[in-house]
């Protein structure tokens, strides 16, 4: 699948006006809305079912072989196996469901990904797999800017956007399992200790 380009990017005011719909995402019991594999650079495969693997992330995705500048061996960073993004925000800035895959994330979820709702270390059960949110920030890049516009990138990367993880979150697989579009997402938040 190679999504088409879109020449109308939303303004900050247009994005801001649509945020109440994004913020209506469930805090628990959300849904897996879209699974996207990236077999090669700039290639996307929208799939209905997939396997999340502790060693390989989303099976068929190029996360491991694409590599990371953050690792000594040039392989994929273990704390960045998966990228999750809120489907409502993704559809808003993409202009259509067909263009959402351009964001580059593998899992698009109807779930509140904000720091307040899902602190780092929170676990999500999707299908028979379990993933854990990691501390490395997920931010908009040059490709995100080209595909969705300057206002969308600035909005997602702003303090407000980062507080709500509008660009998304990084995660790692901690239990191998099968996932399918429509799966309910069960949330297990980390417990903070009182001093």
* Strands, sheet with 177-180, edge to edge from the N-terminal-most edge strand: 57-58, 49-53, 177-180
Say if CB 33 and CB 109 are below 8 A apart: yes
Measure the CA–CA gap between 157 and 155, rounded to whole angstroms. Answer: 6
**Which domains are delineated in the chain?**
12-188 (2.40.33.20)
Q: Which residue has the higher pLDDT, 193 or 99?
A: 99
* Each residue's pLDDT tens digit, 8-31: 899 999 999 999 999 999 999 999
The pTM for the full model equals 0.89
Is 47 exposed, middle or buried (CB count within 10 Å of its CB: 0-12, 13-18, 19+)?
A: middle
* Each residue's pLDDT tens digit, 101-118: 999 899 999 999 999 999
Strands 177-180 and 49-53, by their bridges, are antiparallel
Say if CB 35 and CB 103 are below 8 A apart: no
């Amino acid at each position: 699948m190679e999504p088409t380009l879109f020449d109308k990017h939303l303004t900050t005011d247009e994005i801001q006006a649509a945020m109440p719909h994004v913020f209506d995402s469930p805090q628990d019991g959300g849904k897996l809305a879209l699974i996207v594999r990236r077999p090669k650079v700039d290639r996307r495969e929208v799939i209905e079912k997939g396997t999340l693997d502790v060693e390989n992330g989303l099976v068929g995705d190029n996360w491991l072989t694409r590599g990371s500048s953050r690792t000594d061996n040039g392989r994929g960073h273990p704390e960045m196996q998966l990228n999750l993004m809120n489907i409502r925000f993704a559809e808003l800035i993409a202009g259509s469901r067909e263009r959402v895959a351009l964001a580059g994330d593998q899992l698009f979820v109807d779930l509140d990904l904000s720091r307040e709702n899902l602190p780092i270390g929170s676990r999500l059960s999707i299908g028979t797999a379990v993933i854990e949110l990691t501390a490395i920030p997920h931010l908009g890049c040059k490709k995100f800017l080209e595909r969705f516009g300057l206002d969308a990138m600035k909005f997602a990367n702003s303090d407000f956007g980062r507080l709500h993880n509008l660009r998304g979150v990084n995660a790692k697989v901690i239990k191998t399992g099968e996932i399918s579009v429509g799966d309910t997402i069960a949330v297990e938040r980390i417990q903070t200790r009182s001093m």
